[in-house]
């Protein structure tokens, strides 16, 4: 398996990206990564890898790409001026089918979506990709939330596309035969929500009646974590706000619980006894483990890492790409989309 990596996109610099790449090839023996960035810079960072990761360099291949897409760049700027960037070169390698199975970048989201729409492009019949990630839910479950920012304002038909994309993800990757899909709204009542959301509700009910998925109707934000929904559909503005709020809440809860245990002597003693439970809670809620959002609807696999991800977070984004390659997600999604009336 071969995956292309944009080393220049992350807020923490290429060192975190390259260390995350080294962690990934150490964990996945069949994996080779092509690292796009200024050749000398990439080689220098590879030479600085700590000793436990140094053995991974034989499967980390530098690919020269001189420019980076600025974090402040617009999608239009990326399309006009970004062709020599590490992000564009990464995507070109994926499109030209040089044995590359997927691409991962922590760079500018708008640029990544725009460049991905051009190369490798979307699946036939899908207008725009959607960004999706899994959010932990009750009973050790998870819920796919989409869109997370690729489409800030989405008409009803696009929300229906999102539902099929999310259902295909849950079915292909998690093996859920009939995914439970819901539409995020301000309430469960039929009269609530914008005109576009109400129109999407009617369309989704029609698709569910044909057996495409199990449609649960409207749901509120708290239902994402209930364990009763596999896919939650919304526009990108709402989805991005929900995701960032969830990440912040998870971090705050872990800190508050730990602080409560350590605030008194008795609490410190309890903290020692509860340390294994606290560690497990922190591990399960840590947003780092869920880093790596899929650009669903593309003809090839592209993963967006959080821009601020450190090495461990980028490692999880690469593992997300590995998982989607193993399940041949675009092909499964194309099959499901072709079945839409």
Q: Walk me through the domains of the chain, giving residue ranges and CATH numbers.
A: 1-127+297-341 (3.40.718.10), 130-243+282-290 (3.40.718.10)
pLDDT of 194 above 70: yes
CA separation for the pair 296, 128 (Å, rounded): 9
Higher pLDDT, 327 or 264: 327
Q: Residue 121, Cβ neighbours under 10 Å: how many?
A: 15
Closest CA to 88 of 68, 73, 71: 68
236 in Cβ contact with 131 (< 8 Å): yes
Per-residue confidence (pLDDT) for residue 267, from 0 to 100: 56
Model confidence pLDDT, tens digit, residues 22-50? 999 999 999 999 999 999 999 999 999 99
Whether 308 contacts 11, CB under 8 Å: yes
Alpha-helix runs per DSSP H in 96-177: 109-118, 156-174
The pLDDT assigned to 244 comes to 83
DSSP state string for 179-208: -EEEEE-S-SSTT-S-HHHHHHHHHHHHHH
103 confidence band (pLDDT: 50, 70, 90)? very high
| CA 130 distance to own-chain centroid | 10
Report the share of the chain in percent with pLDDT over 70: 89
13-22, 81-90, 106-115, 280-289: range with lowest mean pLDDT: 280-289
The arrangement of strands across the sheet holding 293-296 comes to 60-64, 32-37, 2-6, 102-105, 301-304, 293-296, 130-136, 142-146, 231-233, 180-184, 214-219
Query: Do residues 164 and 180 touch, judged by C-beta distance below 8 A?
Result: no
Tell whether the model's pLDDT for residue 110 goes beyond 70: yes
pLDDT (tens digit, 9 = 90+) per residue, 213-261?
899 999 998 899 999 999 999 999 998 898 888 878 877 877 777 676 6
pLDDT digits (tens, 9 = 90+) for 292-333: 899 999 999 999 999 888 999 999 999 999 999 999 999 888
Q: Which of these ranges, 105-109, 147-151, 246-250, 271-275, has the smallest mean pLDDT?
A: 271-275
Q: Please check the confidence at residue 149 and state whether its pLDDT lies above 60.
A: yes
Q: Lowest mean pLDDT: which of 157-161, 192-196, 257-261?
A: 257-261
How does strand 301-304 pair with strand 102-105?
parallel
How far apart, in whole angstroms, are the C-alpha atoms of residue 58 and residue 63?
14
pLDDT at 9: 84
What is the model's pTM? 0.89
Q: Which helix (H) or strand (E) holds 317?
A: helix 311-326
To the nearest whole number, what is the mean pLDDT of the chain? 87
DSSP 213: S
pLDDT of residue 249: 80
Is residue 116 over pLDDT 90? yes
User: Coil, strand or helix: which one is 128?
Assistant: coil
Closest CA to 247 of 307, 294, 302, 296: 307
Per-residue pLDDT for 271 more than 80? no
pLDDT at 41: 94
**pLDDT for position 229:** 95
């Amino acid at each position: 398996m071969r995956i292309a990596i944009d080393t220049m996109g992350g807020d923490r610099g290429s060192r975190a990206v390259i260390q995350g790449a080294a962690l990934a090839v150490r964990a996945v023996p069949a994996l080779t990564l092509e690292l796009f960035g200024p050749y000398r810079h990439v080689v220098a960072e590879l030479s600085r890898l700590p000793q436990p990761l140094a053995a991974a360099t034989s499967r980390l291949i530098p690919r020269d790409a001189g420019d980076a897409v600025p974090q402040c760049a617009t999608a239009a700027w990326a399309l006009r001026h970004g062709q020599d960037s590490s992000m564009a070169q990464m995507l070109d390698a994926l499109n030209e089918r040089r044995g590359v199975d997927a691409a991962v970048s922590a760079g500018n989201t708008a640029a990544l979506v725009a460049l991905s729409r051009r190369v490798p492009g979307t699946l036939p019949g899908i207008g725009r990709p959607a960004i999706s990630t899994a959010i932990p839910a009750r009973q050790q479950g998870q819920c796919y939330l989409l869109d997370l920012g690729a489409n800030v304002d989405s008409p009803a038909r696009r929300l229906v596309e999102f539902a099929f994309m999310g259902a295909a993800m849950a079915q292909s990757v998690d093996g859920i035969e009939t995914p439970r899909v819901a539409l995020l709204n301000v309430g469960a009542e039929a009269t609530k929500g914008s005109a576009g959301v109400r129109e999407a509700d009617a369309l989704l009910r029609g698709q569910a009646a044909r057996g495409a998925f199990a449609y649960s109707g409207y749901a509120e934000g708290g239902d994402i974590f209930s364990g009763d929904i596999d896919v939650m559909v919304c526009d990108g503005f709402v989805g991005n706000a929900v995701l960032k709020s969830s990440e912040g809440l998870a971090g705050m809860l872990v800190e508050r619980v730990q602080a409560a245990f350590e605030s008194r002597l008795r609490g410190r003693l309890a903290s020692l006894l509860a340390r294994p439970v606290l560690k497990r809670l922190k591990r399960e809620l840590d947003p780092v483990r869920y880093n790596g959002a899929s650009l669903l609807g593309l003809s090839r696999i592209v993963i967006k890492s959080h821009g601020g991800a450190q090495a461990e977070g980028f490692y999880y984004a690469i593992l997300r790409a590995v998982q989607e390659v193993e399940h041949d997600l675009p092909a499964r999604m194309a099959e499901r989309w072709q079945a839409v009336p």
